[in-house]
């Protein structure tokens, strides 16, 4: 589904997490921080790749200690490849902790050719005003489709935290993933359990996260990015 379109008319029941938001820009525990020069970035626990930016002039988010997060300068729009094989597209100037009031949307998708086989993830983060804030295409190596779906969601949640998002609606065309996170299906696969727990851990750092299952045609852009990650890694 393209990042700027509206949510589905009749989404499935969603699970909400009512926890305090994270206290700083590193709460996502992975990936590169938005718009901060290399020498000034605090150490994070993994991830990486290129990180998109937020629009300059948005309201500055404050931590629970009521101290504003530091801003950084705007950077030139364009495409960039990260050192981990990720491709991202920024959508304007970057500033950590900037956010718009309202609910952000995260579209994620994972693809595996052969299942298991070469796998990629795609992420589209959409601001409350409908503007696409961040896109990512990444090759994740050899994996199953379900592992790719969970990896895409984990990466998307980490990046949303880096943007300073409080409230988030997640859209995925993986019925298994959405039903497991909404408590409708049990997580029986041993390989998925640690990924499921990581999602729950990240979700607890938002004020609210809801999960919606959508048809693939309503998640088209994330699907394109997941396949783009595979294609570029394989030289297609």
Q: What is the pTM of this model?
A: 0.64
Q: Would you list the DSSP string of 17-68?
A: ---PPPSSTTTT-SSPPTT--GGGPPP-SS--S------TTPPBPB-TTS-B
Residue-by-residue pLDDT tens, the chain, 236 positions: 434 444 443 333 343 333 333 333 333 333 322 232 333 333 333 333 333 333 332 322 222 222 222 222 222 233 445 555 566 665 554 343 444 579 999 999 999 999 999 999 999 999 999 999 999 999 999 999 999 999 999 999 999 999 999 999 999 999 999 999 999 999 999 999 999 999 999 999 999 999 999 999 999 999 999 999 999 999 97
- The encoded tokens of residue 37 equal 């020069």
Nearest to 183 by CA among 21, 12, 3: 12
- Dihedral angle computed from the Cα positions of residues 11, 13, 19 and 22, in that order, rounded to the nearest 10 degrees: -30
Q: Which domains does the chain have, with CATH numbers?
A: 38-234 (3.30.420.10)
């Amino acid at each position: 589904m393209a990042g700027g379109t509206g949510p589905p008319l009749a989404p499935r029941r969603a699970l909400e997490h009512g926890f305090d938001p994270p206290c700083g820009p590193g709460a996502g525990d992975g990936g590169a921080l938005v718009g901060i020069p290399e020498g000034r970035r605090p150490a994070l626990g993994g991830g990486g790749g290129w990180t998109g930016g937020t629009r300059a002039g948005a309201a500055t988010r404050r931590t629970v200690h009521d101290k504003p997060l530091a801003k950084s300068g705007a950077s030139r729009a364009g495409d960039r490849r990260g050192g981990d094989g990720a491709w991202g597209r920024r959508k304007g100037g970057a500033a950590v902790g900037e956010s718009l009031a309202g609910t952000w949307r995260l579209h994620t998708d994972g693809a595996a050719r052969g299942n298991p086989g070469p796998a990629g993830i795609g992420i589209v983060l959409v601001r409350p005003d409908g503007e696409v804030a961040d896109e990512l295409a990444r090759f994740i190596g050899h994996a199953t489709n379900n592992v790719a779906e969970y990896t895409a969601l984990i990466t998307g949640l980490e990046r949303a935290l880096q943007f300073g998002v409080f409230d988030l609606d997640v859209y995925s065309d993986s019925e298994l993933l959405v039903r497991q996170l909404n408590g409708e299906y049990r997580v029986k696969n041993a390989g998925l359990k640690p990924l499921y727990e990581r999602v729950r851990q990240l979700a607890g750092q938002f004020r609210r996260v809801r999960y919606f299952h959508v048809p693939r045609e309503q998640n088209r852009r994330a699907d394109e990015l997941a396949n783009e990650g595979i294609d570029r890694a394989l030289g297609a």
